[in-house]
Amino acid sequence: MVRTLDKTHTVLSYIEGSLKNVMIVEGENKCQGFIFSLLNPPVPLGGNIVSVDIYVNAIPIPKKSIFIATSEDVVNASALSEYRPIPFKPFQSARFLIIKEDGLEEKKKHKIVILSKLEGFEQIIIPITLAG
């Protein structure tokens, strides 16, 4: 079963102004993407997330291009599993880094959907519509 969190949770979760295009530089390598932050994502009451998928304007982002940073860890979505979950405490914030060629088109609304699986439970969908 899949559950979709309501708009109230989405509005309360998104940290206003955190959506930004970024350039990631590692040595000689450069790539583009975007970041955004959520308070208490992607589980309202906390728990261990074993899988995360992100869609931007209905297009799936490869897991290897999704990074989740908490105060304790930075995890690539492709590394998540039941054996290596990312724990979230209630009211813990997280920053998401998405590597995406050309980032997000500015001055346009984008629908970002986070599909996460909570350890021992069903999938949870967090729909977010943000202006770039």
Confidence of residue 33 (pLDDT cuts 50, 70, 90): very high
Greatest Cα pair distance, the chain, in angstroms, is 44
Residue found under tokens 């728990």: 47
Q: What is the mean pLDDT of the chain?
A: 82
In the predicted model, is pLDDT for residue 70 greater than 80? Answer: yes
User: What pTM value is reported for the model?
Assistant: 0.83
Q: Phi and psi at residue 45, in whole multiples of 5°?
A: -110, 10
In the predicted model, is pLDDT for residue 42 greater than 70? Answer: no
Judging by beta carbons within 10 Å of its beta carbon (0-12, 13-18, 19+), is residue 96 exposed, middle or buried? buried
CATH number at residue 9: 2.60.40
In the predicted model, is pLDDT for residue 49 greater than 90? Answer: no
* Segment 65-81 mean pLDDT: 92
| Total count of domains within the chain | 1
In the predicted model, is pLDDT for residue 52 greater than 70? Answer: yes
Confidence of residue 66 (pLDDT cuts 50, 70, 90): very high
Q: Which domain holds residue 14?
A: 2-131
Residues 6+ apart with CB under 8 A from 87: 46, 47, 48, 49, 72
Q: For residue range 88-132, what is the model confidence (pLDDT) as tens digits?
A: 887 788 999 999 988 888 878 888 888 888 787 766 666 666 654
In the predicted model, is pLDDT for residue 68 greater than 90? Answer: yes
